[in-house]
Structures are given as structure tokens and as C-alpha cells.
Amino acid sequence: MSSSNPLRDAQDRRLPRIAGPSGLVIFGVTGDLSRKKLMPAVYDLANRGLLPPGFSLIGFARREWEDEDFADEVYRAVKEHSRTPFRDEVWQQLSQGMRFVQGDFDDDEAFETLKKTMQELDAAQGTGSNFAFYLSVPPKFFPLVVQQLKKHNLADQKDGSWRRAVIEKPFGHDLASAKDLNEIVHEVFAPDQVFRIDHYLGKETVQNILALRFANTLFEPVWNRSYVDHVQITMAEDIGIGGRAGYYDGIGAARDVIQNHLLQLLALTAMEEPAAFDANALAAEKTKVLGAVRLPKDLAKSTVRAQYAAGWQGGAKAVGYLEEEGIDPKSTTDTYAAVKLEIDNRRWAGVPFYLRTGKRLGRRVTEIAVVFQRAPHSPFDHTATEELGQNALVIRVQPDEGVTLRFGSKVPGTSLEVRDVSMDFAYGESFTESSPEAYERLILDVLLGDANLFPRTEEVELSWKILDPIEQFWAKHGKPAQYESGTWGPVEADDMLARDGRSWRRP
Ligand code: BG6
């Protein structure tokens, strides 16, 4: 029965959001993501009091482990990677609900054991038959695991309980494979049971894009083609491919992060205001703007892909991509990608969005720079403004989280000279709370059934639609360019902007 007082019904968003009775099943529990991100995030949530007392964690993998071995593995991962301090009483309680199921993904018996384990946990821990299945497995196993869940009736939601599927990227490797995968997943799970992870959406600074734009009056009036010259979205990493040759080779930078993280950043930067801050309204606006993205006609001039060559990184010698262990020496996989996109709508017509990403670049930084047009007229003479760049609003996603506004100011002295200065907001200075890890936020949202921060099928498919022609063009035309490790990418990417009379920021 609904109360007659809408104010009483409204949830106070400042109150802690605590998950109800539930458990998490992780497939691929021995993988890197699980150890470095998922297990520590579960502990951090428990430590912050956001999980129910009987919360349960089931690991499913091939390894010959007992429950204790699994718990030991989680313990080590938590000790090494968790964000919040270790507290024995939290660990003791959490470890009560840890179980391990040994088996291959095609092993029917193992899935029956999983079902039994879940039932036992319902009785012992009070999980209420509410379980999320986290598919932290190589993409080739997605269909098999999903079908096994169906075959063993593990996706069924009975008597008010819930079952949810959490799917890690990459969600397909092109539009056709993403559609196939969506079909397979939706044969088993209804759309509101599926949570596709794009961990960038779990980052505080990424959520802040919407707060900055829509909770203030200052920025929105100039957030359009009348004032914005162009937008640069950069995701630079200083690391190479590390031990991920098997995953990365053949996928490359554009599929790895432009298709998801960077296009989501573009969508949040460029979309219209949603009618409400809820999953449907957000998805509607993101879908609309992704659907309006247009590729320039000449892909040779508006896209660049490249591979890192040997060089120096952080004072150490670094090998080139083709010399990395496990990489085919003839590989044409991109470790750097830059693309110019346009958005065909009234707000953005004619404003280029330049996206770039790369491994082994100068330093790790992700930012969105909204670069404004120059003043239409200047009363100062040319020499006074020689050192003045374009005004810019830079959303610093990581690592130095915050926002910078760059504008011109008079240099103190008897003559008139205007130079760039900046006004800074830094999370570390303005807030005492530290930001939760993206995976903490996203796992909690899955347990709460809150889908705001998860891309929908349409968004994933539209993103592939943008990327597919670029990948096809690259596959047909020549080899990737090269850039020295530790630099800011290939000269071809600088040329791409220079042709438009612009240059990349050096963050
Ligand atoms: C992942 C990519 O999605 O994001 C990796 O697969 C990349 O290649 C990683 O290194 C970067 O994440 P973050 O949060 O460190 O920017």
C-alpha cells in the first residue's frame, strides 16, 4: 500500500544503501580481476557495513580447492588489495559464508553441486535464494556458462527472490557477435536481471560529470556548439600489456577501451539532461546521443592506430609490443588508438570529439577536456594575448581526481599581458571521505538491483556500430604506426589534430 505522503516515500539518497539478504557467485574466481578487484571490493563493502550479516561468496573454478583454500585465497587478495583497513571481526563474519565449487563450465555435476551449495547457504546464512552470478570469464565461455545456468534452473526467481547475471567486458568483438551474445543472455535472463559491467561508470569522477552538468547553472548554458570548440577525451596508461597477451592480442586498444569506457564518457559529456536520475531515463539519453554519433567520411585522416615500440618508461627500459611475451611478432593489434567523432544534433553539430587511448604513454591519466572557442573579439593587442590558450574545463577522472577550469588572467605588472591560469577543485581537498573503488559501487548496485550505472544492450550495440567501420578500415589498410614507449603517442595522431588546426593536450 502506498502512503499518501510523497515526501515520506522519497528515499534519502544520503543514507547508506545496504544490501539485503544475498550472495555472489563468481565464475573465473582464480583470475586476475577476481583477485585484484572483486574479492577486495566484497571485503571493503563488508567493512563499510553495506553487506548483510549472512552475505555469502561462492567461488567456481577448475582448481582442486576446498572451501578453506578458497577462503585463504580471498584472505590474501583482501590483505593485498583492499582499500579499507583490515579488521579481524569483519573477516571472521565474511569468511563464514565462503564456499568453493570445483568444476569445468561444461560439468553438469558441478552445476548441481553449485545449486546445492546455494540452498545450503540459504539455510545456514539466510541468503534468501537471492544470488548474483558474476561471469569473470573469457568471453568464449559466456554462452556456455549462461546456458548451464539455464539448464540447471539457476536463473529462476521463485517466491520473490532474485537472480542476476553480471557480465564483464568485452561484450562481443563487433556488432554481430554482441547481438548474438545478447540473444543468448536474454534467452535465460530478462533485461532487468542483466548487469553489464563498464567499471568506468563506477568511478566517482565519472558520476560527477552528471552532477557537474545538471546540478549547476554555470556550465550548461555554454555546453554546446555556440561556445565549445572541441572536446578531447584521453585515457592514457603508462603500463604495457603485462601478462595479458592472450586477451589483448587481436583485441587492441579501440575494442578494449574505446568501445566501452571512452564512448560512455562521451555519452555522459554530450547527452541531454535525463528526465530523472534513474536507469531508464539515463539509458534513453545515452542511447539517443550514441545514436547521433557520426564517423567522418575519410577514416584515413580521422583515425590513427599504433603500437608501442621499445623505449624508456619510468626510468626503466621497456620492450616494444611485438617483443612482448606471447605476442605474435607480426601482430597488427593497436595499443594506441585515436579517433575523431562528430555528433549529429543541434547541440553539437560541427564540434569534433577527439578520443585517444594508449598503453605505455607518458603517464597514467584519464580526463575529459571541454575546450572553448576563443573570444570573438579582443580589445587587447596581439602581443598581450600571445600566451593565452583557449579556455577549457577539464574533468580529471584519474588519478588526480577533480576539475580544472582554465582561463586567461592579467599578469601582474605595469604592462598588459594575459596568460593562462587555472582554478582547481580536488576531491582530496574538498571532501574528507575517500572515494570507493568502482567495483565496490558496482557490486553493491547489483545486489541492490540498481541499474543506473550499467550500460544497456542498446548502448553496447550502438558503440559497436560506431567502432566496426573503423576496425574494418584498419583491417584493410596497412599496418599500425609506431610510437616510442614513454612518449605521448605516434606523430600521426599529432598530425590528425594539426590538420584541424588543433593540438592534443599534454596532461
Ligand atoms: C580495462 C582494460 O577495462 O581498463 C585494461 O581492459 C585497462 O586494458 C583498464 O588497463 C584500466 O582501468 P583503470 O580503472 O585502471 O583506468
- 327 Cα–ligand 1 center, Å: 19
Nearest to 301 by CA among 180, 477, 71, 55: 477
Predicted model pTM? 0.95
Pocket test for ligand 1, best of 173, 257, 334 (most atoms within 8 A of CB): 257
3-state secondary structure of 498: helix
Residue 387 pLDDT class (50, 70, 90 cuts): confident
In the reported structure, the alpha carbon of residue 437 is separated from the centroid of ligand 1 by a whole-number distance in angstroms of 13
Q: What is the mean pLDDT of residues 372-378?
A: 94
Which atom of ligand 1 is least distant from the CA of 256? Answer: 6
169 is in an annotated binding site: yes
pLDDT score, position 445: 97
400 annotated ligand-binding residue: no
What integer is the mean pLDDT of 203-232? Answer: 97
Closest approach atom of ligand 1 to CA 237: 10
Q: Is 168 in the pocket of ligand 1 (CB under 6 A)?
A: no
- Secondary structure in 3-state letters for 246-266: HHHCCCHHHHHHHHHHHHHHH
Consult the annotation and say whether 104 binds a ligand: yes
Helix, strand, or coil here: 305? strand
**Given 3-state DSSP classes, what are the helix, strand and coil percentages for the chain, each rounded to the nearest 5?**
40, 20, 40
Residue 147, SS3 per DSSP: helix
Is 203 annotated in a binding site? The answer is yes
**Ligand 1 contact, 237 CB (< 6 A):** yes
Q: Which of 81, 186, 230, 261 is catalytic?
A: 261
Confidence of residue 1 (pLDDT cuts 50, 70, 90): very low
Give the confidence band of 270 by pLDDT, cuts at 50, 70, 90.
very high
Does residue 15 register a pLDDT over 80? no
| Average pLDDT over every residue of 402-428 | 95
Mean pLDDT of 479-500: 97
Cβ of 285 below 6 Å from ligand 1: no
| 246 strand-pairing partners | none
152 is in an annotated binding site: no
Counting ligand 1 atoms within 8 A of each CB, the residue from 206, 237, 360, 400 with the most, and so the one to mutate, is 237
pLDDT(178) > 90: yes
User: What is the set of domains in the chain, with CATH numbers?
Assistant: 19-168 (3.40.50.720), 201-498 (3.30.360.10)
Determine if ligand 1 sits within 6 Å of the CB of residue 257: yes
Say how many Å lie between the CA of residue 501 and the centre of ligand 1: 31
% of residues, the chain, pLDDT over 90? 91
What letter does residue 379 receive in the DSSP assignment? S
Give the residue-averaged pLDDT of 45-71.
97
Measured in Å, residue 236 CA sits from the centre of ligand 1 at 10
Grid cell of 147 as nine digits:
546456458
The answer, yes or no, to whether any atom of ligand 1 lies below 6 A from the CB of 256, is yes
Q: Please give the distance, rounded to the nearest whole angstrom, from the Cα atom of residue 289 to the centre of ligand 1.
A: 24
Contacts of 431 (CB under 8 A, 6+ apart): none
Indicate if 377 belongs to the active site. Answer: no
Helix locations, 16-58, DSSP H: 32-33, 39-47
